[in-house]
């Protein structure tokens, strides 16, 4: 999943970024409300972690403006103040959940999982193509009812592909959604991970699902596309 963290305290931002990346998420960061609001509008995120007290524009204003502009990405709001009034202001501005600093990363992660699960449930509970199934809730993957063990990043890559079946996904798109916006498209890391996925998903099966579109990127499909 692709997550935006808008937090001006560098130590806190790095702490959240590192933890979420270890869970397999692609994470972008912004250090003030203006940059955060801009990124949230121009990029497609699955979740926004938004601090209230930000330079240039506070989180309440950012959240309200995003909702007014039709951006419905789930927002987890962070604040150092635990008053009923602050929580009400954040929720009334359109936030989906609220977390008070300081917090245990385990609690942040649980709230992130809950919001992403709610988002996934509103789309498709289980992602299926052919005999391959991925369950975002249990994070399990099977093909022909047999379990497939994936690394965190392999799982994130496969989930992104399954949410975009029968579409050619360029290396740039994959890099931005599975890694982050600073990903180097000239790197061969995507090709390496796709190769690993093929070995686990397609090897031993009559029908290949992961296809290379020469000069364009990759596609997951039950049909063999022309190259």
Domains of the chain with bracketed CATH? 2-122 (3.40.50.2300), 127-220 (1.10.10.10)
Query: Cα dist. 181→18, 43, 89, 102 in Å?
Result: 15, 9, 31, 28
Segment (H or E) for 26: strand 26-30
What percent of the chain stands above pLDDT 70?
95
Q: Is residue 26 left, alpha or beta, with left meaning phi > 0 and alpha meaning psi from -120 to 50?
A: beta
Residue range 140-193, pLDDT digits in tens? 999 999 999 999 889 989 999 998 899 999 888 888 888 877 777 678 888 999
**pLDDT at residue number 121:** 56
**pLDDT at residue number 38:** 94
From CA 78, how far away is CA 178, in angstroms rounded?
A: 24
**pLDDT at residue number 226:** 65
pLDDT of 120 above 80? no
């Amino acid at each position: 999943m692709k997550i935006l963290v808008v937090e001006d305290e560098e130590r806190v931002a790095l702490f959240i970024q590192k933890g979420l990346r270890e869970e397999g998420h692609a994470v972008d960061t912004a250090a003030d409300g203006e940059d955060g609001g801009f990124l949230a509008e121009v990029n497609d995120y699955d979740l926004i972690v938004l601090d209230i007290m930000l330079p240039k524009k506070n989180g309440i204003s950012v959240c309200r403006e995003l909702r007014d502009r039709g951006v419905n990405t789930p927002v987890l709001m962070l604040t150092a103040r635990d008053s009923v009034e602050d929580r009400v202001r954040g929720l009334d501005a359109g936030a989906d959940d609220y977390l008070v600093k300081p917090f245990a990363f385990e609690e942040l992660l649980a709230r992130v999982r809950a919001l992403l699960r709610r988002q996934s449930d509103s789309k498709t509970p289980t992602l299926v193509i052919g005999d391959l199934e991925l369950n975002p809730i249990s994070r399990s993957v099977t093909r022909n009812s047999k379990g497939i063990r994936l690394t965190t990043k392999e799982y994130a890559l496969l989930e992104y592909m399954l949410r975009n079946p029968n579409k050619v996904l360029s290396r740039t798109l994959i890099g931005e959604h599975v890694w982050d916006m600073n990903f180097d498209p000239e790197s061969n890391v995507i090709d390496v991970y796709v190769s690993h996925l093929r070995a686990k998903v397609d090897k031993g099966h009559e029908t290949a699902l992961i296809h290379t579109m020469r000069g364009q990127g990759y596609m997951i499909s039950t049909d063999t596309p022309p190259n």
